[in-house]
Amino acid sequence: MVSTNGFAAHSSTTPLVPFAYEHRDPGAKDILIDIQFCGICHSDIHQARNEWGNSLYPMVPGHEIVGTVRAVGSEVKKFKVGDLAAVGCMVDSCRTCPSCSAGEEQYCERQATVFTYNSKGKDGKLTWGGYGEHIVLDEDFALSVPKNLDLAAAAPLLCAGITTYSPLKHWKVGPGKKVGIIGLGGLGHMGLKFSHAFGAHTVQFTTSASKIEDAKKLGADEVILTTKEGWATKHAGSFDFILDCVSAEHDLSPYLSLLKRDGTLCAVGAPEKPASIHAFSVLGRRNYTGSMIGGIAETQGMLDFCSKHNIVSDIEMTSFDKIEEAWECVVKGDVKYRFVLDLKTLKR
């Protein structure tokens, strides 16, 4: 067994504390990664605090993982010792259903997706995430990290990156398309970067006047402050695609009115309460849909795209002794734009 130190939540109401646990020894197709950096995702907080009602304890969060391969199994082909490797939100699936066969493991139709943490593997044991020294997983669910990317800033690409890249890619965002990004946070700033890199005319929607200049620097062709009276009127019926990256409750009707006929509003944020949509908002044959992360092949394609276009997340580094403070900042939206944990700060 691989002895590991990390931080874990033991209940929904207690803070993260140091925790010693074990990963399995690497099997024939497994790799062992020494984790160097792990991004902090808002879902880590939702899960640890059982805000989605599905939490398993003790829980070691973290699914934006990058590090170095320490050991490989006898049948491993993709990695060798010393390679940079990454792990996103899942570490296994049924592998045989139509979705898995199509490389869309995140939509496994047998509901057999094994998530990186707060999940049970096929052996029935809990999975442990990136708030710890090591992770062991099948090479088929690990990603190669291009060497030209800053490793710490690449960590959030494994969730925030692929969560925004996948729908933009699926709905063929590119030159000649007018695209909106709602919210400029951990997800939104990545959606903005990708839409700009795809060549679309990209409009950033924000409620914060203080973010207007940031949005322009990150690639926005236009920035719309949605606290202004009549902000939606000028752009009615002009958008091909809008990506909603906001996890707080908000009115969707004004954004749906911005879509062209057959335009699409796609949600990737996760508000606490269900969205309310009036029938008249979509009568113009406007589409409202959602998206998750991408499959393994698409995630690798996203990392390669980031390498080509020099795209990483805008991050603030933090440490384990400040993790509760960082979490509170995430909840308040007080971070530009993703916290990343340095595993060197984990006290053994």
Domains and CATH numbers, the chain: 2-159+313-345 (3.90.180.10), 161-290 (3.40.50.720)
Q: What is the pLDDT of residues 267-323, one digit of tens each?
A: 998 776 777 777 667 778 999 999 999 999 999 999 999 999 999 999 999 999 999
Distance CA 191, CA 180 (A): 9
Distance CA 21, CA 136 (A): 13
Task: Enumerate long-range contacts of 295-300, CB under 8 Å, 24 or more apart.
Answer: 295/102, 295/103, 295/104, 295/105, 295/106, 296/103, 296/105, 296/140, 296/141, 296/143, 297/103, 298/103, 298/162, 298/165, 298/166, 298/169, 299/88, 299/143, 299/158, 299/162, 300/143, 300/144
First to last CA, the chain: 18
Please tell me what DSSP assigns to residue 342.
E
State mean pLDDT over 216-227: 96
Q: Does residue 145 have a pLDDT over 80? A: yes
Output the CA–CA distances (angstroms, integers) from residue 90 to 30, 116, 119, 319, in the order listed.
Answer: 14, 5, 9, 24
Token match 């800033």: residue?
Answer: 153
Confidence of residue 348 (pLDDT cuts 50, 70, 90): low
Phi, psi at residue 114, to the nearest 5°?
-100, 120
Q: Does residue 151 have a pLDDT over 70? A: yes
Distance CA 237, CA 223 (A): 17
Output the CA–CA distances (angstroms, integers) from residue 140 to 77, 130, 225, 254, in the order listed.
Answer: 10, 18, 43, 42
State mean pLDDT over 76-94: 97
State mean pLDDT over 125-137: 97
